[in-house]
Amino acid sequence: MIQPSAIAIVAHPDDIEFMAAGTLLLLKERGFSIHYMTVASGNCGSMTMDSATTREMRRKESQEAAAFLGATWHGALCDDLEIVYELALVRKLAAVIREVNPSIVLTHSPQDYMEDHMATSRLAVTAAFAKNMPNFETLPEQAPGAGDVSIYHGMPHGLCDQLRQPVVPDLFVETTSVHMKKREALALHASQKEWLDQSQGMDSYLVALDEMSARVGKLHGEFAHAEGWRRHLHLGFSAEDSDPLAEVLGDRCQSVRK
C-alpha cells in the first residue's frame, strides 16, 4: 500500500509553524508522510546579518524545524520578495509536487497582507493543477503524478485580508494536543525573534503563535487551539466530494461548510 502524503507550501521559513504545523502533525499521526517547503529562502529576515548569512541561517533553522516535525524538507526556489507568478517558478514547484505526489496541499490564503504569501498561493494552485499533466514540462523533468489532489488555504496573519476584512475558515482543525510541539518548532527559528519584533511589532513570536491559534479556536467556539482552512474549488483537481483533510482527521476537525 502506498503511503499517502501531504505537503505544506509556504512563502518563508516559519510560515508553516504559524499556519500549518499542527495540521501536518495530526496528518502524520494518521499515517501520512509530511513535506515541508518554503518557496523563498528568508534571506531578507534580518536587521543585522547580511543576505548570504541570513539565507544560510534560515535554511538551517527550517531544516531543523522540518526534522523536529518529522517532515521531509524541500529547498527554496528563490529569495524573499522574488516570489512572482511566473512560468519558471511554476515549473520548479510542479516538479516538487510531482515528486511528492500529495493528496493534500496546504498553502497560504489567496488574500493576505503581503504579496509573497499571495503569489505562493497562486503558484501552489497552478503547480498542483499540473501534477498529472504529461504535456507540462517541469524543472527538473519529473514524471507526472497520479490521483486526486485537494488544496487547502490557511488563515492569513491577522485573520483578515489585505483590506482588513475578516477571513473565516470553513474547516477547523483542533491542534490543542500538538500545540506545544508546534510552538517548539517555531522556537527553532531563533533568528526571527528580533526581526519580527522590529519589523512587525511582535513582542514575542511565540506569544503571537499562541494568540493566533487561540483566536482561530475562539472562532470555532469550542477548541482551545485550532488551525483554519478553506478548501479550493475541486474543478480540475479532484472529485467534487473529495475532502481528505476532513475525512482523515475526522474527530479532530469540524467543517462549517453549508
The pLDDT assigned to 122 comes to 98
pLDDT, tens only, 149-196: 999 999 999 999 999 999 999 999 999 999 999 999 999 998 877 666
Question: DSSP letter string over 39-87?
Answer: SB--TT--SSS-HHHHHHHHHHHHHHHHHHHT-EEE--SB-TT-----H
Question: DSSP letter string over 148-183?
Answer: --EEEEEPPGGGB-TTS-B---SEEEE-GGGHHHHH
Q: Using the structure block, give the residue that is written with the C-alpha cell 499515517.
A: 31
User: What's the rounded Cα separation, in Å, for the pair 129 and 195?
Assistant: 35
Alpha helices in 106-237 (DSSP H): 115-129, 179-187, 192-200, 205-220
The pLDDT assigned to 195 comes to 62
The pLDDT assigned to 74 comes to 98
Class (C level, CATH) for 5-255: alpha beta
User: What's the rounded Cα separation, in Å, for the pair 216 and 176?
Assistant: 11
Q: Which three cell numbers stand for residue 82?
A: 522574488
User: What's the rounded Cα separation, in Å, for the pair 18 and 146?
Assistant: 30
Q: Where are the domains of the chain?
A: 5-255
The pLDDT assigned to 46 comes to 87
User: What's the rounded Cα separation, in Å, for the pair 247 and 242?
Assistant: 9
Within the chain, which residues score under 70 in pLDDT? 194-203, 257-258
The pLDDT assigned to 258 comes to 47
